[in-house]
């Protein structure tokens, strides 16, 4: 297999397969995964380094093993693996440049004088790929030192804030197409001016025909007093708008036309009209609604201490 596909084809091919798999399985948005996530780039760098190192070690082992064979075994091996482009000068030149290894016949040039029980040592130079990689780490460390500790390009806190801004923008973008999950159990009263203004705009478009612009009521009931036909409070008002009023004579259901989060804004705006007492308001309908979950306030009578 190694002779059929040479290492200078095999290494980039394996690297491309791993890179493609990571791009497929990692959701990085519009950017490539190795740019969006630095740890992916680090993994790919380590993976490529290991691929090259393994290929060099395997090549060195093959070379040593080859020289241990007899002439007849060498001939048989060459005949079995005789693939023209793997034996070309290009492949041999690449391996020579990457390793600067000496042929076994030339090992006497790098043989040291030390002798340990018949075992001698070779003074081989470090492989250029390893030396160059070491120099690259030094350059990277120097650039990092200047950029972040001398020039102070940006701090980790600034980077965090930038990432948070990007995340918030992505959340807002997602909300434009995300399913609306608001319901009666989750709804809460909104009090900010923006939400109430948006609720008023929807109220003016959908509700004024029956409840008047000021909420005083015409066909529909008065929305400004303390009386409610189907209960007051944000949850009840939300549910009434969502599901409709009394069957046969009440308000229609608006859930097909107004999304739940907007119904929350309308309900909050309606509750903001409480106590406004508009002119010519309709007579109260329904019962006075008291929120049983509201915190109880101490009355003047309750505050009088008993006399012994």
pLDDT tens digit string along 249-281? 778 889 888 988 899 999 999 999 998 888 888
**Regarding predicted confidence, which is higher, 53 or 299?**
53
| pTM (predicted TM-score) | 0.43
pLDDT number for residue 301: 41
Average pLDDT (85-98) is 62
Residue 127 DSSP symbol: P
pLDDT at residue 299 above 50? no
Residue 171 pLDDT class (50, 70, 90 cuts): confident
Q: How far apart are CA 180 and CA 190, in angstroms?
A: 17
Sign of the CA dihedral 124, 125, 127, 133?
positive
pLDDT at residue 95 above 80? no
Which pair of tokens denotes residue 221? 């009931």
Average pLDDT (197-208) is 92
Residue 306 pLDDT class (50, 70, 90 cuts): very low
Q: How far apart are CA 265 and CA 189, in angstroms?
A: 8
In 3D space, the residue among 211, 224, 212, 217 whose CA is nearest the CA of residue 276 turns out to be 224
Residue ranges of alpha helices (H) inside 69-117 are 71-80, 89-99
Q: How far apart are CA 35 and CA 161, in angstroms?
A: 19
In 3D space, the residue among 288, 291, 267, 294 whose CA is nearest the CA of residue 191 turns out to be 267
Residue 285 pLDDT class (50, 70, 90 cuts): confident
């Amino acid at each position: 297999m190694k002779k059929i596909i040479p290492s200078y084809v095999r290494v980039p091919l394996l690297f491309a397969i791993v890179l493609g798999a990571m791009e497929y399985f990692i959701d990085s948005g519009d950017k490539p995964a190795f740019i969006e996530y630095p740890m992916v780039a680090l993994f790919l760098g380590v993976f490529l380094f290991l691929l090259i190192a393994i290929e060099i070690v395997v090549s060195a082992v093959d070379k040593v093993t080859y020289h241990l064979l007899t002439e007849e075994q060498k001939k048989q091996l060459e005949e079995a693996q005789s693939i023209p482009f793997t034996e070309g000068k290009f492949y041999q030149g690449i391996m020579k440049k990457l390793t600067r290894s000496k042929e076994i016949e030339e090992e006497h040039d790098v043989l040291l004088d030390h002798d340990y029980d018949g075992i001698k040592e070779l003074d081989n130079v470090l492989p250029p790929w390893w030396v160059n990689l070491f120099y690259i780490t030094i350059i990277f460390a120097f650039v990092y030192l200047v950029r972040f500790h001398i020039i102070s390009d940006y701090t980790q806190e600034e980077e965090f804030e930038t990432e948070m801004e990007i995340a918030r923008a992505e959340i807002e973008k997602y909300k434009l197409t995300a399913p609306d999950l608001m319901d009666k159990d989750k709804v809460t009263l909104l009090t900010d001016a923006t939400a109430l203004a948006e609720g008023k705009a929807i109220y003016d478009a959908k509700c004024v025909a029956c409840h008047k612009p000021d909420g005083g009521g015409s066909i529909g009931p008065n929305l400004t007093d303390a009386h409610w036909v189907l209960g007051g409070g944000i949850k009840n008002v939300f549910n009434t708008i969502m599901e409709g009023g009394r069957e046969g004579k009440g308000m229609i259901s608006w859930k097909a036309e107004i999304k739940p989060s907007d119904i929350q804004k309308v309900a909050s705006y309606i509750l903001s009209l409480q106590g406004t007492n508009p002119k010519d308001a309709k007579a109260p309908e329904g019962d006075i609604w008291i929120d049983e979950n509201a915190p109880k306030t101490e009355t003047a009578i309750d505050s009088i201490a008993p006399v012994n």
